[in-house]
Structure 1
Amino acid sequence: MTDTVSENTSASPQQTFEQVRALVADQVEAVDRLILAELSSDVVLINQIGRYIVSSGGKRLRPLLHLLAANALGYEGEDHITLAAVIEFIHTATLLHDDVVDESELRRGRDTANAVWGNAASVLVGDYLYSSAFEMMVRLQRMRVMEVMSKTTTAIAEGEVLQLLNVNNSATSEQRYLEVIWRKTAILFSAAAQLAAVIAGSDAATEEALRRYGMHLGAAFQLIDDALDYRADPDSLGKNLGDDLAEGKPTLPLIYAMQQAGADDAGLIRRSIEEGNRDAFAEVYKIVESTGAIAYTEMRARDEARNAIAALAPIAASPFKEAMVAVAEFSVQRSY
């Protein structure tokens, strides 16, 4: 994950996100129908919580990425619809678990499921979604798919534990922070792209290219997320600014600011992380801004986006490949 390329991403995406989605609009609708069908349970609470979080207004970026990659490889079957739903189920399960661990009350501008139904119900429904995802995968009868996704979910769990170990730890290094990103966030983007090559019967080089594309894209996405916690409009962001600080998370803006700031300012950030002190957000924000920490985080994100685009070099030109390039550009240009 350390390789970089010198080419710049374009100043603005050549396609809008709506145009990207329009390329696979019928398939997106098929995924949505499958998700709703698979959420149908005779246990009412599962239906309520599952539908609540799945319909919470997210872009469904990971399943969209899988659909685009499958089409870019010329895949003509139906397994990509099932896998896109699987990917969304796993992502949704991680959100349910994350919000419980982080004690979050707001996501995408709405109350979190745990704030509405409680922690126990959220964890159990998250477990149900994980189980349903693997049940759907079994139907495909593709061992390589199971292999990739089992390794992916294991890595996500490891990332969650690593992040937990980093909470309130002001000594967290940039490398340790990046390890959390790669395992907790980037790995599912990676699997979404890689699995398109698996079901399309592509060669190992193509599978690896798409794996790398997704990994770099996911890293870029999370880096921008962490930068947004210090510069976004709260209404657009859908959560409170300073949530990461309040949760004691030493994200890259804080890590870099501590490295660049004077002893007193670095000490303030260190104590704020250790105490999870949201009240210090205004002072911490000034330090983060003055040290160029937000700009540094965004620069690292742009590096990852360029690497994602470079990884697509072996993929044949098509509107779907162009859309995947645009998605990488969107990942670092969004404001929420």
Structure 2
Amino acid sequence: MSLDDKAQKPHDRLAEALAEDMEAVNRLIRERMASENAPRIPEVTAHLIEAGGKRLRPMLTLAAANLCGYTGRYHVHLAATVEFIHTATLLHDDVVDESQQRRGRPTANLLWDNKSSVLCGDYLFARSFQLMTETGNMRVLEILSNASATISEGEVLQLTAARDLATTEEIYLKVVRGKTAALFSAATEVGAVIAGASDEQVRALYTYGDALGVAFQIVDDYLDYAGAADVIGKNTGDDFRERKLTLPVIKAVALADAEERAFWSRTIEKGQQEVGDLEHAMKLMAHHGALAATRADALAWAERARDALAILPQQPLREMLEELALYVVARIR
């Protein structure tokens, strides 16, 4: 599957199939991110929301609801809720990470300031809760509020684990499930819940979103070391230079001897990096098969996502979701 062939991109086909609903979602987003009393709020939030993201998470909510036969209007509210939560976390992330670029544009914290980014992110969180309560569905409120808490937990856990060589794959998975997969799984789960789907179908769509989110993050971690710069949109090895303990490194550290562990301690924990260290890190990962094992994990999670959809109605939307799981790992096949 070529990533350069637009005809082969399932999220494009998903966007086309859901165009009418997504137009309603975008209208609602623009309406609810407005503020009569604080004009900076729509300035800051619009900078990120209108930056050309794929809107994948809200599309997952719409797709899940439609796949389960929903004919009401609250899936639009929930899709907007998911996008607000996602945007709020990005605003906060850029402050925490001291980022200067997001989606090829200067970050809000760079254009305005950290305080504006944090407070506007808080505003979007508040708006998201207003939207979800309008559905009148307590189960939906429980799912999305739990996801919001899980995302915050994942962020804090990453702060403590990111440069600690004692971090295991189990801890890494908790971080990924918190930071990335929690919103994917909540997006698909609430779509099923608002449609009144069976418990089995709700669980299936939760599992799909969770596995898709995990695969999505593992692929990013893999490509940081194994991808070409023009494909991944950043320089190869940026995670190493930023001392991020991602899955390929965790796997290599787990098999390291004393000399190799000392290298990882110097470069990741202490941040004492020298010319040639990235190349040496790559050699150690190759020696221990860390990249191959990371690739295998990503493919397994993507397959788990596809398998979860087996009990859902066989229709074009289900096929698009299955293809989306394949697309996430297409760059490493």
| The two structures share one fold, judged by TM-score above 0.5 | yes
- Post-superposition offset of 1:72: 1.0
**In structure 1, what residue type is equivalent to 2:30?**
L
Could you tell me how far apart the structure 2 residues matched to 1:247 and 1:25 are? 39
Which string of whole-angstrom CA distances, capped at 9 and with x for unpartnered residues, describes residues 245-296 of structure 1? 3443211011112234554344222321113456543442343345432222
Runs of 4+, deviation exceeding 6 Å = 10-14
Could you tell me how far apart the structure 1 residues matched to 2:106 and 2:132 are? 31
Which residue is 2:15 aligned to? 21
Match of 1:296 among 290, 293, 296: 293
TM-score scaled by length of structure 1: 0.90
Query: Could you list the runs of 5+ residues in structure 1 that have no partner in the other structure?
Result: 1-9
Choose 16-25 or 59-68, whichever is displaced more: 16-25
Match of 1:65 among 60, 63, 80: 60
Contact residue 105 and residue 112 of structure 1 kept, 8 A? yes
Choose 254-263 or 51-60, whichever is displaced more: 254-263
Which residue is 2:166 aligned to? 171
Contact residue 102 and residue 247 of structure 1 kept, 8 A? no
Distance change (3 Å), C-alpha of 1:73 and 1:41: same
- Post-superposition offset of 1:205: 1.3
Distance change (3 Å), C-alpha of 1:317 and 1:39: same
- Post-superposition offset of 1:298: 1.7
Choose 64-73 or 101-110, whichever is displaced more: 101-110
Which residue is 1:7 aligned to? none
Could you tell me how far apart the structure 2 residues matched to 1:310 and 1:236 are? 28
Contact residue 15 and residue 323 of structure 1 kept, 8 A? no
Distance change (3 Å), C-alpha of 1:25 and 1:277: farther
Could you tell me how far apart the structure 1 residues matched to 2:259 and 2:301 are? 32
Q: What SS is found at the alignment partner of 1:140?
A: coil
**In structure 2, what residue type is equivalent to 1:208?**
R
- Post-superposition offset of 1:192: 0.6
2:311 corresponds to 1:311: no
Equivalences for residues 41-190 of structure 1 within 5 A: 41-42=35-36, 43-190=38-185
- Post-superposition offset of 1:65: 1.1
Distance change (3 Å), C-alpha of 1:146 and 1:232: same
Contact residue 245 and residue 278 of structure 1 kept, 8 A? no
Query: Could you list the runs of 5+ residues in structure 2 that have no partner in the other structure?
Result: none
**In structure 2, what residue type is equivalent to 1:199?**
I
RCO comparison, higher one (Cα < 8 Å, 6+)? 1
- Post-superposition offset of 1:217: 0.8
Could you tell me how far apart the structure 1 residues matched to 2:14 and 2:165 are? 40
Contact residue 246 and residue 277 of structure 1 kept, 8 A? no
Choose 165-174 or 112-121, whichever is displaced more: 112-121
Contact residue 106 and residue 240 of structure 1 kept, 8 A? no
Choose 153-162 or 23-32, whichever is displaced more: 23-32
Count of paired positions: 326
Contact residue 107 and residue 239 of structure 1 kept, 8 A? no
Fraction of identical pairs, as percent:
45
CA RMSD of aligned residues (A): 2.3
Contact residue 63 and residue 87 of structure 1 kept, 8 A? yes
Contact residue 75 and residue 194 of structure 2 kept, 8 A? yes
Distance change (3 Å), C-alpha of 1:277 and 1:138: farther
**In structure 2, what residue type is equivalent to 1:328?**
A
Could you tell me how far apart the structure 2 residues matched to 1:278 and 1:215 are? 35
Could you tell me how far apart the structure 2 residues matched to 1:135 and 1:270 are? 46
**In structure 1, what residue type is equivalent to 2:305?**
A
- Post-superposition offset of 1:301: 0.9
Could you tell me how far apart the structure 1 residues matched to 2:201 and 2:170 are? 28
